[in-house]
């Protein structure tokens, strides 16, 4: 069959760009189609040119030396030696209008009694509230862990699958434990997309996917059709459900019920001298309009400080969000030097999710179509790339 590309990836978040990288390294002609006007997905370093290019992360905030698949890509791109260490600053709780220490919400005796259960309690098939309430205590879960987990995944955490929230991974000890880049984590998707072996097209809305012999024909609005021998969908589960060809009904049924969580991320920049707040990594909110606030203090700048407030959707208008964030930071809204509002979406995984993934994998077996994203093993960069590499190996061989 004559094709335009060996491999087409739909979606230019880190999952899709990772899938493209893995196939391009195999020498396959690779095209990435992205519906929006930017690449990177949840890796979104907001740069403010009027402030000398100062940036703050509006999505993912940190990478670690346990991210083996990510580090393999950084090695390929010559980026591993450019990682920047993060200054060690701590998180605090935001509760009842005050900043409090994390330890103030910890019930030490309950944790001491409960923690031996961690060695015998299984995670599989259990929600976060069930598992962590058992191994660390119900009061610890109620007063601390529920809010900490919500801060990580930016959504209610109780029914989130315990087995995908945190997974232990081997570390590369020669790499800094927690790192970023001088220009933010958007350095990673930008570098992947800049490779001559990968073509990336933004503002490309796919209207339909049709089988075409052993491959696929992708119809793009206002741009005709493109053919490929292999296809990877690197999109949220609701988008994957809509795009899967008619011959993939079993795959569609497996993922049709996976929901999405909406997050409104408000990025605020202040001049350093306008804030009396001591440097901190961020705030974990307890029963507030926002899940968490993450600072740029891990990479200090002499002129500016930046914060990303991850708000619950639809609770406050933008003006009220700014007022709330400024009240939390102890500064007047008129001191805001720059701001932006970013709408993020994350998968809302629930108990039994692993069974859905297994059903999907059975339905995809032997097909030349892969499905990846941050909704298989967890929401981290490495979780997404783990799935992308596994699908690449399945499609093209190890």
Q: For 67-76, how does the pLDDT look when each residue is reduced to its tens digit (9 = 90+)?
A: 999 999 999 9
Nearest-angstrom CA–CA distance, 336 and 83: 29
Which residues 6+ apart lie within 8 Å of 142 measured at CB?
Answer: none
Judge whether residue 160 has pLDDT over 70. yes
Per-residue confidence at 167, pLDDT binned at 50, 70, 90?
A: confident
Rounded to whole angstroms, what are the CA distances from 384 to 70, 78, 164, 248, 316?
Answer: 10, 21, 12, 22, 31
Q: Span 335-363, mean pLDDT?
A: 94
Which residues 6+ apart lie within 8 Å of 258 measured at CB?
Answer: 237, 238, 347, 348, 349, 353, 356, 375
CB 206 within 8 A of CB 171: no
Q: Span 178-203, mean pLDDT?
A: 97
Judge whether residue 2 has pLDDT over 80. no
Residue 377 confidence (pLDDT):
87
Residue 27 confidence (pLDDT):
96
Nearest-angstrom CA–CA distance, 342 and 57: 11
Residue 166 confidence (pLDDT):
79
Summarised one tens digit per residue, pLDDT across range 220-259 is 998 889 999 999 999 999 999 999 999 999 999 999 989 9
Summarised one tens digit per residue, pLDDT across range 6-42 is 999 999 999 999 999 999 999 999 999 999 999 999 9
Instruction: Give the tokens for residue 315.
Output: 């609770």
| Start-to-end C-alpha separation, the chain | 24
Domain 5-42+186-258+352-396: homologous superfamily in CATH = FAD/NAD(P)-binding domain (3.50.50.60)
Rounded to whole angstroms, what are the CA distances from 51 to 45, 144, 182?
Answer: 14, 37, 16
For 118-132, 234-248, 269-283, 297-311, which range has the lowest pLDDT when averaged over its residues?
118-132
Which residue, among 397, 388, 381, 398, has the nearest Cα to 179 in the 3D structure? 381
Residue 379 confidence (pLDDT):
87
CB 327 within 8 A of CB 282: no
Summarised one tens digit per residue, pLDDT across range 105-125 is 999 999 999 988 888 889 888
Residue 222 confidence (pLDDT):
85
Per-residue confidence at 351, pLDDT binned at 50, 70, 90?
A: confident
Q: Span 65-86, mean pLDDT?
A: 96
Percent of the chain with pLDDT over 70: 99
Residue 164 confidence (pLDDT):
86
Of 166 and 70, more confident: 70
Q: Span 184-208, mean pLDDT?
A: 97
Give me the chain's average pLDDT, please: 94
Q: Span 90-96, mean pLDDT?
A: 95
CA atoms within 13 A on the CB side of 200: 26
Nearest-angstrom CA–CA distance, 140 and 311: 24
Q: DSSP per residue over 95-163, as a string? A: ETTEEE-GGGG--HHHHHHHGGGGGT---TT-BHHHHHHHHS-HHHIIIIIHHHHHHHHTS--TTSBHH
Which residue, among 387, 84, 366, has the nearest Cα to 240 in the 3D structure? 387
Enter the pTM of the model.
0.94
Please state the domain extents for the chain: 5-42+186-258+352-396, 104-165
Residue 1 confidence (pLDDT):
43
């Amino acid at each position: 069959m004559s094709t335009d590309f060996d491999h087409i990836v739909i979606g230019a978040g880190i999952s899709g760009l990772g899938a493209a990288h893995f196939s391009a390294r195999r020498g396959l002609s690779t095209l990435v189609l992205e519906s929006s006007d930017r690449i990177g997905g949840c890796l979104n370093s907001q740069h403010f040119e009027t402030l000398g290019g100062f940036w703050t992360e509006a999505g993912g905030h940190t990478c670690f030396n346990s991210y083996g698949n990510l580090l393999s890509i950084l090695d390929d791109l010559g980026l591993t030696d450019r990682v920047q260490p993060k200054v060690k600053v701590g998180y605090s709780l935001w509760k009842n209008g005050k900043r409090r220490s994390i330890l103030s919400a910890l019930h030490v005796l309950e944790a001491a009694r409960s923690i031996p259960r961690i060695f015998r309690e299984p995670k599989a098939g259990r929600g976060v509230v069930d598992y962590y309430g058992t191994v660390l205590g119900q009061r610890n879960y109620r007063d601390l862990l529920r809010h900490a987990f919500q801060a990580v995944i930016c959504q209610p955490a109780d029914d989130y699958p315990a087995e995908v929230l945190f997974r232990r991974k081997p570390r590369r000890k020669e790499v800094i434990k927690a790192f970023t880049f001088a220009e933010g984590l958007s350095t990673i998707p930008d570098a992947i997309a800049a490779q001559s072996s990968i073509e990336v097209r933004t503002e490309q809305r796919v209207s339909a996917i049709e089988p075409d012999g052993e491959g696929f024909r992708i119809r793009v609005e206002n741009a005709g059709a493109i053919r490929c021998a292999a296809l990877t969908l690197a999109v949220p589960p609701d988008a994957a459900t809509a795009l899967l060809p008619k011959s993939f009904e079993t795959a569609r049924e497996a993922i049709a019920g996976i929901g999405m969580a909406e997050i409104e991320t408000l990025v605020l920049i202040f001049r350093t001298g306008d804030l009396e707040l001591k440097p901190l990594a961020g705030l974990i909110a307890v029963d507030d309009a926002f899940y968490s606030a993450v600072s740029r203090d891990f990479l200090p700048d002499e002129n500016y400080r930046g914060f990303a407030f991850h708000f619950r959707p639809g609770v406050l208008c933008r003006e009220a969000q700014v007022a709330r964030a400024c009240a939390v930071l102890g500064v007047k809204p008129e001191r805001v030097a720059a701001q932006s509002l970013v709408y993020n979406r994350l998968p809302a995984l629930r108990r039994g999710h692993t069974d859905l993934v297994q059903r999907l994998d059975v339905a995809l077996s032997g097909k030349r179509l892969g499905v990846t994203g941050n909704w298989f093993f967890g929401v981290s960069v490495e979780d997404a790339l783990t799935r992308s590499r596994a699908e690449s190996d399945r499609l093209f061989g190890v």
